[in-house]
Amino acid sequence: MKTRDNLRMALEGLAANPLRSVLTTLGVIIGVTAVIVMTALGEGASRQVTAGIEGLGSNLLIITPGRTGRRSRELGAAGSATTVTSDLLPVLERELAREGGELLRGIAPEARQVLPVRNASLSITTNVMGVTPAYLGVRGYDLKEGAFFNEEDLERRNRLAVLGKTTAEELFGEESPVGQVIRIANNRFTVIGVLAERGYSGFSHLDDLVLVPLTTAQRRLFGHNRLQSIYLEVVDSRFMDAAYDRIDRILRGYFQEEAAYSLSNQVQILETIQSTTRTFTLLLAGIASVSLLVGGIGIMNIMLVSVTERIREIGIRKALGAQGREILLQFLFEAIVLSLAGGGIGILLGLAGSRLAALFGGWPAVVSGGAILLAFAFAFGVGLFFGVYPAYKAALLPPAEALRHE
């Protein structure tokens, strides 16, 4: 007997009970759809985070406060200690100059706090960052309009502000904010520029912020000289390791304690984030797989019912000369056809669902070929695994008994 005949028998068997077949398939459809949508969302999130971090600028080293200090044991402790301050900056510059400063293109400190910002009519809360003129180049921002503050503004602690695109729109709408006055924690600042759009990074909205001169921020707004980060732009990616070693040596000399600071490069951050999102994606896929498994059990259940209902048919087929193997294949094919149909429909729904999620969720969804293949293979495996037992049961029925069955 040919495979084609087996397949035809299976299809006829399923067609005899269309509603039941569809309902059985539904379990697999939902499972495969869930797996595809979940992995697509996970993958999309991962790519977005990666792109965001890569968008930080190409050759960055980042100094953040270490894990010592009062709040040392807290989760995400980087940045929680109070060790890194503006005092470190002249030390860095001096040491780097002494050893030959050609390694770095720029140093950009950042002091950050979430503060209320308002204009005449609106009040919002956003990230207020104290930075230096080098920040623009090191972090890869462009100006959309207006100007950025310079060294002189920094020295004089001028109350100037440059707005991120989102912040500008929230406060001023279509109107140009340049020349307008805003109040940050009740201090008057004059807006002199607006940044070009950047999008999301892994951590924050890169367009929802207000940049002010570091000195102004520390003196007038924050009341201390702590820094959350110092970004160091290395002149060439080939020198990343050399730069890392040298700066690490300087920092160790300065702090006398390794736990006081943390020096990282983008690759490390990327790896951390990617391993996190990968775990996240796997978790989502795992949860979704459970529904696929449940779908498989549904198939087994229905196939068992089907075998019981068709004992007489099995007896007739055996009396006419069907081998046990042929009966087995007939029922196994039914289970596999069910699961593969479910897999196929599930993939289509998964693609549609991913697109829909991306459309309404504001969240990119990346459906990978691998996920589709995996879901399909898994659906096939489910059909095979859960189909074998009922089919085997059918194949082993003794023909004389099966024929007697009413």
Partner 1 sequence: MIRVTGLSKIYQTGRVQVAALTDVTFQIKAGEFVAIMGPSGSGKSTLMNILGCLDLPTAGSYRLAGREMSGLSHGELAEIRNRELGFIFQSFNLLPRLNAWRNVELPLVYAGLPPKERRERALALLALVGLADRAEHRPQELSGGEQQRIAIARALANRPAVILADEPTGNLDTKAGREIMKIFTALHQEGKTIVMITHDPEIAVFAGRVLYFRDGRLRRDLLTVDPATNAVLTARELIDRLHGEEEEQP
| Cβ pair 326, 1 in contact under 8 A | yes
What are the residues whose beta carbons fall under 8 Å from the beta carbon of 219, sequence distance 6 or more? 157
Name the 3-class secondary structure at 321. coil
Q: How far is the CB of 281 from partner 1 (least distance, A)?
A: 45
Strands 229-234 and 60-65: antiparallel
Task: Transcribe 45-63 into DSSP letters.
Answer: HHHHHHHHHHTT-SSEEEE
Binds partner 1 (CB under 8 A): choice among 55, 140, 324, 381: 324
Binds partner 1 (CB under 8 A): choice among 319, 352, 356, 377: 319
**Contact string 277-316 vs partner 1 (x = CB under 8 A):** -----------------------------------xx-xx
Q: How far is the CB of 319 from partner 1 (least distance, A)?
A: 5
Binds partner 1 (CB under 8 A): choice among 12, 99, 102, 152: 12
Its sign, for the CA torsion 47, 53, 55, 57, is negative
Q: What is the DSSP letter of 387?
A: H
What sections of 217-323 are H helices per DSSP? 240-255, 266-309, 311-319
Window 366 to 405, contacts with partner 1 (CB under 8 A): 398-400, 403
Residue 339 identity: S
157: left (phi > 0), else alpha (psi -120 to 50), else beta? left
Q: Which region, judged by CB under 8 A, interacts with partner 1, from 128-136, 155-163, 172-180, 321-329? A: 321-329
Q: How far is the CB of 31 from partner 1 (least distance, A)?
A: 29
Give how many residues touch partner 1 by CB under 8 A.
Answer: 23
Asked if 20 touches partner 1 (CB under 8 A), the answer is no
Instruction: Return the structure tokens found at 276.
Output: 């996190």
Q: How far is the CB of 388 from partner 1 (least distance, A)?
A: 18
Binds partner 1 (CB under 8 A): choice among 1, 97, 147, 348: 1
Q: How far is the CB of 397 from partner 1 (least distance, A)?
A: 11
Binds partner 1 (CB under 8 A): choice among 19, 75, 120, 320: 320
Q: Round to whole Å and give the CA distance between 147 and 364.
A: 33
Nearer to partner 1, 324 or 381 (CB): 324
DSSP β-bridge partners for residue 123: 118
DSSP β-bridge partners for residue 188: 183
Binds partner 1 (CB under 8 A): choice among 321, 360, 362, 369: 321
Residue numbers at the binding site for partner 1 (CB under 8 A)? 1-2, 5, 12, 16, 312-313, 315-326, 398-400, 403
